[in-house]
Structure 1
């Protein structure tokens, strides 16, 4: 037996005992440092939790109670009426008109954002495209602009009396153009502006999804002689299908929050042709001579249920499509 093995055997049992004796001495100090660090983390997060609870959670919970009472928002008297507010909302033709307009707006915006951003992401993701980073920044710039400011500026641009678009129409001999003043063109115009405003978010989603595709698959396909269309059909498209569900759900859900843009551009007009559900709720809750907070809260709750139904149906159809593809 060598001296090194004897030394190893003689020192190895003592080492665990030394470590075991040292660990209890270090653990209280480590726990104290962790507690101090966690306290600072919670201290910095506390303002966010408080503000989120005050301005998000509490209004959400309170709206369910307000939907069951008759209240104008000024007096302290709240008369409990049960589901009468829901019955009144469901019996109002203007509510169903707002539902229809909201769904039509979503059906215009969501496909243009999802499919258009997907095509553009494929182009911008090409390494052969010069200035691709510049174009990505250009398409994302409208996202960081305040939505209300975009609505005001677009209302000025589309003004039929002095807007630049109408001035150009007079120069070309077509006369003044009033896209927001017609009940037939106001909603599509607002939808296209909304697509332009938030197009960059969906584009970033698709660009991030494209980064997950392994480059080795592209190289192997090119070595095997596959052309660009075959690579896209058999490699890119199948690997991006799981992301289609996530991006579609996020985009559809985002289409139900167009209040600031629509309010600043059209305020629901002309003739209620662009009155989405959010403007409908706002009109009864804040814009009416005598506010009806209970009625508006019931409409808001029903609007939330509509969003859940649409997203749930989307998830259900996607699962059916996946099962059909596997079969």
Structure 2
């Protein structure tokens, strides 16, 4: 290392130096920290009011009988929880949520994996265009996508109905049929958020050193051999993390499902979030306590997934160390 490099290298101030211990420096440091906290304060206040407070309040509401309109809150203990677990529609919503996840997660994880492999190839022309095209639905408003898709699948005047008539298939109502509504909504959800999973895989692919590919080609390895013996082993630690992130994301499909089907027809697409919304806001007499109890149980389910995510990250870290060694 040359002397100029040593001189130009940035150095951190010594906390025992005279410049740091001067009163002026400490005053400037306090002023800078004050501005930092001042800019953070709006976010902290809004996060506390609209995120933390509702979460804490829902635990109390789950223990009372309350319609949300008056101040009459009757403490009922765990009666709301007993009513929720004895409701067949709650378990139907749990089953539909799980089925929705089982449809969406594999399509997103493995479909995005193969698309990312193709888009990561330096020989693919217009790869930047295709990346943008796949990611563009992610930045669109989910509720607007749901409204547009209701028009697309409209059995009377939608493009899908027009194509079906052109092919001589007769009228079809994909969102109005209880046998096809959930699968149709799942496919739309995959299309909407496919780009996020693709970005995860593209980021994972960037962690593979190019030297490994060059060394493999020098040794005579070709496309599929490189994919099997280098790409797959190096991406294996990321599979668990991406899978858990995608599964957790599948539990938050309320806005798309509500605007597309509102849980119908005949509760065939009523996921847990719509079940909670129906009891809290859409019922003739809202039951905030009952809905809060369902929300708490739903939160427990999400916490289990988060615990799996943390475990998956730990396992992935150990696997990554094993691959690197």
Settle same-fold status: TM greater than 0.5: yes
Name which of structure 1's ranges 25-34 and 148-157 shifts more when overlaid on structure 2.
25-34
Which of 235, 242, 250 is matched with 1:240 structurally?
235
Q: Distance in 2 between matches of 1:40 and 1:319?
A: 37
Structure ID, larger Rg: 1
Contact 1:245 1:315 in 2 (8 A): no
How far 1:319 sits from its partner (Å)?
A: 7.7
Q: Deviations over 1:182-236 (max 9, x none)?
A: 1110000000000000000011111111111100011001101111112112211
Show the counterpart of 2:252: 257
Q: Deviations over 1:100-143 (max 9, x none)?
A: 00000001001100111011000000000011011000000000
Show the counterpart of 1:215: 210
Which of 151, 158, 166 is matched with 2:161 structurally?
166
Contact 1:109 1:191 in 2 (8 A): yes
Q: Distance in 2 between matches of 1:311 and 1:30?
A: 44
Which of 276, 282, 288 is matched with 1:281 structurally?
276
Q: Distance in 1 between matches of 2:236 and 2:163?
A: 43
Contact 1:143 1:197 in 2 (8 A): yes
Give matches, 1:125-204, under 5 Å: 125-204=120-199
Q: SS of the residue aligned with 2:154?
A: coil
Q: Distance in 1 between matches of 2:170 and 2:292?
A: 44
Q: Deviations over 1:140-197 (max 9, x none)?
A: 0000000000000000010001111101211221112210011110000000000000
Show the counterpart of 1:7: none
Q: Distance in 2 between matches of 1:61 and 1:134?
A: 45
Contact 2:241 2:309 in 1 (8 A): no
Q: SS of the residue aligned with 2:30?
A: helix
**Residue 41 of structure 2 corresponds to residue 31 of structure 1:** no
How far 1:274 sits from its partner (Å)?
A: 0.1
Indicate how the Cα distance of structure 1 residues 81 and 22 shifts in structure 2: closer, same or farther if over 3 A, else same: closer
Q: Distance in 1 between matches of 2:58 and 2:153?
A: 37
Indicate how the Cα distance of structure 1 residues 210 and 298 shifts in structure 2: closer, same or farther if over 3 A, else same: same
Task: Give me the CA root mean square deviation.
Answer: 2.2
Q: SS of the residue aligned with 2:22?
A: helix
Indicate how the Cα distance of structure 1 residues 25 and 318 shifts in structure 2: closer, same or farther if over 3 A, else same: closer
Show the counterpart of 1:57: 52
Contact 2:20 2:26 in 1 (8 A): no
How far 1:317 sits from its partner (Å)?
A: 8.1
Q: Distance in 2 between matches of 1:220 and 1:161?
A: 59
How far 1:309 sits from its partner (Å)?
A: 2.7
Q: Distance in 2 between matches of 1:245 and 1:125?
A: 20
Q: Which runs of 5+ in 2 are unaligned?
A: 1-13
Show the counterpart of 2:299: 304
How far 1:25 sits from its partner (Å)?
A: 7.2
Indicate how the Cα distance of structure 1 residues 74 and 227 shifts in structure 2: closer, same or farther if over 3 A, else same: same
Show the counterpart of 2:3: none
Q: Distance in 2 between matches of 1:182 and 1:88?
A: 30
How far 1:280 sits from its partner (Å)?
A: 0.2
Contact 2:178 2:264 in 1 (8 A): yes
Indicate how the Cα distance of structure 1 residues 50 and 169 shifts in structure 2: closer, same or farther if over 3 A, else same: same
